Chain A
Amino acid sequence: MPFSTQEIMETITMVENYHFDIRTVTMGINILDCADPEIKVATRKSSEKILRLAEKLVKTVHKVERTYGIPIINKRIAVTPISLVAQASKANNYLDFAVMLDRVAAELGIDFIGGFSALVHKGATPGATTLISSIPEALAATAKVCSSVNVATTKAGINMDAILQMAQVIKETAARTADRNGIGCAKLVVFANTPEDNPFMAGAFHGIGEPEAVINIGISGPGVVKAAVERLPDADFRNLVEEIKRVAFKITRAGELIGRKVSGELNVPFGIVDLSLAPTPAVGDSVANILEAMGLERCGCPGTTAALAILNDAVKKGGAMASSAIGGLSGAFIPVSEDAGMIAAVQAGALSLEKLEAMTCVCSVGLDMIAVPGETTVETIAAIIADEMAIGVINNKTTAVRIIPVPGKTVGDMIEFGGLLGTAPIMPVKNFSPAKFVRRGGHIPAPFQALTN
C-alpha cells in the first residue's frame, strides 16, 4: 500500500469530522473586450463570453469533487471590474450589467459572481462614479452579484471623498434591502490594496493584470486546524506553530491538486491558491474557536491579537510550501456573522468592534460581516472605513470593510442572513462624532511606505 492506513484515515477524518472542504473554485474571466458604446451590446457580448468560457465550470467542479472525495462548497466567477467595461457607453446607470451578471450566474448554476467593481484609490473616472452610484440599486435587484470598491493603496494613499461616498452607498444599499435586514451590504466590500486574484466574495474581481481566464482556489479548514491545536493542549508556542504548519500544508495541498485538476479539465490556466482560513457558521468550523483552543477563555479577550498573529503566520508558512502559487487575500478571515465562535464572543461581551480592528492589524483581512445599528451615521461608517484603510495602507496589506447598518435594528438584536452569510449580532459603535474629520474631503497622500524605489 503506497499510503498508510493512518494517512488515508487522516484525510477522510478531516472531511467527515472537521468540516474540511475547498471553499471555492473561482473562475476569473476578462470581459474588457466586450466594451461597446451601446450598453445593450456590451451586456450581450459579456453574457455570451461568460457563458461560453464557464459553460463547463459547475460540471467539472462536481466531477473533481467526487474524484477526490473532497467537498467543494462554492463555484464562483469573477469578471473584469464593470466600471472599466461599461464606461465606453454613455449610460448613466450600470444596473443592466448587474442584471446581466445575475442572470448569467443563475444560468450557469454558480453561487456568486463578482466584479461589479471600481478602483478609485487615486480618483474616480466617470465610469467609476457611475458604477458606485449604481451599487445600491444593483445589489437590491440581484441575488448573486457582488460588488467591491478599492478606495486606498499604499502607493496612492487614501481617497477620502470615495470613502464618504461609499459610506452613503452602504447606507442606501441597506435601506433598499431593509426588508431583508440590509443584506445588500453583505455583498459589498470596500478595500485598501485589493488583490487582483482574490477568489473570495464579496471582493473577487478579475484584475487587469490577469490572463484571459484563470482558475483560483480558496481553501478552508478552521475545524481541521482547531483539532490540531486541541491535540496539543500543553505544547509551547514553537511546537504549536509546527503542528499548525503541518495541517496547513496538507489542506493547501488538497487545494493545489483540485485547482490544477479543474484547470486542466477546463483548459484554463491555474492561478493561485488563497491560504485564507475561511470559517462557516457550522459549529466546529470557527476561527474564533481555534484562538480559544490556544488558551483564550473567549475570542476578544486580551491575547486575541497575539493568538491570531500566530495562527495566521503558521498557516502561511505551512501553506506557502504546499503550493506553487499563493495569492488572493491569504489571511485568516474573521467575519463575525459567518463564525459561530465570533458570534458567541460578541454575545458574551468579549469581542468588540475595536478589538476586531486590532485583529485586522496582524493580518486578518478586515472588518468583515459586522452588523451595526441602523441609525449609525454616514460619517461614522466613513470613519470606520478610513481607520481600516489606514491600517492597510500603512502596513502594506489588504484590508477591507463589509459592514451592515441594519435598518430598524439596534444593539442586542440578532439578524439572520442565511446560508454561508450566517447570523449577526448587532454590535455597538462608539457614538462620538467623527463628522468634521471625514467631511474635510480630498485625498490622504501616500505614506512614506510608498517610497520604495
Chain B
Amino acid sequence: MISRNGVIELQGKERVVVTVTGQDRVGIVAAVSKTLADHNANIVDISQTVLQENFFAMILLVDIANASADLLDLEEALQVTGTALGVKVMVQHEDIFGFMHRI
C-alpha cells in the first residue's frame, strides 16, 4: 500500500530471499543453515538442486522478524560463510521480487 504522502507501507513481514550458487560440495546447506540459526533467523521455505556439472543452486526464504541481526548484518555474516565455502551468496528483501513479478 502507498500512503497519502507517497511512502510505501510494507506488509510488516521481514523476510529475505537468500540465494546461494556455485560449485557443489559437502556442507553448503549445513553451513548456511547454521549461520542463519546462529542469528535466530527462521527458514520458512527452501529449494535446492544440483544442476549439471555439479552446479549448486539454493534459494531460501528466511524470516528475520525475530532475528538477532538485521538484514545488512545477516548479509555480512552469510558473505563470510559463502566465502569460506567458495560459493556466491545474495541476500535480498523479498519485496523486490514481489514488486517486480507480482501485480
Contact = CB atoms under 8 A, between A and B. Distances in A.
B99 A257 contact: yes
Contacts of A63: 72
Interface in A51-105: 63, 66-70
A253 B8 contact: no
Interface in B47-103: 47, 57, 59, 61, 71-72, 75, 90-101
Contact of B95 (A1, A257, A325): A257
Interface of A: 1-3, 5, 7-12, 63, 66-70, 250, 253-254, 256-257, 260-261, 263-264, 267, 269-270, 324-325
A261 B8 contact: yes
B26 interface: no
B59 A8 contact: yes
A5 B99 contact: no
Contact of B19 (A12, A250, A256): A12
Contact of B92 (A5, A69, A270): A69
B17 A67 contact: no
Contacts of B17: 3, 8
10 contacts: A2-B45, A2-B94, A12-B19, A66-B75, A68-B92, A70-B96, A250-B100, A260-B8, A263-B7, A324-B6
Contact of A270 (B7, B91, B98, B100): B7
B6 A5 contact: no
A49 B94 CA distance: 36
Interface string B7-21: 110000000010100
A324 B2 contact: yes
Contacts of A5: 47, 57, 59
Nearest to A265: B7
Contacts of B57: 5
A48 B103 CA distance: 42
Given A1-B59, A270-B7, A324-B2, A69 B99 contact: no
B19 A8 contact: yes
A27 to B, nearest CB: 14
Contacts of A256: 99
B7 A260 contact: yes
Interface in B10-42: 17, 19
A135 B64 CA distance: 52
Contact of A2 (B8, B72, B93, B98): B98
Given A3-B94, A5-B47, A260-B2, A67 B99 contact: no
B67 to A, nearest CB: 14
Q: Which of B72, B90, B91, B96 has the most CB of A within 10 A?
A: B96
Contact of A11 (B71, B75, B91, B96): B96
Contacts of B61: 1-2
Contact-residue bracket for chain B: 20 to 34
Contact of B101 (A1, A3, A68, A263): A3
- Considering the complex of A and B, which 5 residue pairs feature the smallest CB-CB distances, nearest first? A260-B8, A270-B6, A69-B92, A264-B7, A68-B96
Given A12-B19, A66-B72, A67-B72, A257 B8 contact: yes
A427 to B, nearest CB: 38
A254 B47 CA distance: 24
Contact of B5 (A3, A9, A70, A269): A269
Contacts of B19: 8-9, 12
B6 A263 contact: yes
A5 B21 CA distance: 12
A257 B96 contact: yes
A253 B101 CA distance: 9
Nearest to A250: B100
B97 A67 contact: no
A72 to B, nearest CB: 13
Given A1-B47, A12-B19, A254-B96, A69 B91 contact: yes
A102 B98 CA distance: 39
A257 B57 CA distance: 27
A7 B59 CA distance: 11
B79 to A, nearest CB: 11
A76 to B, nearest CB: 19
A12 B21 CA distance: 11
A69 B75 CA distance: 11
A127 B16 CA distance: 52
A62 to B, nearest CB: 9
A339 B45 CA distance: 42
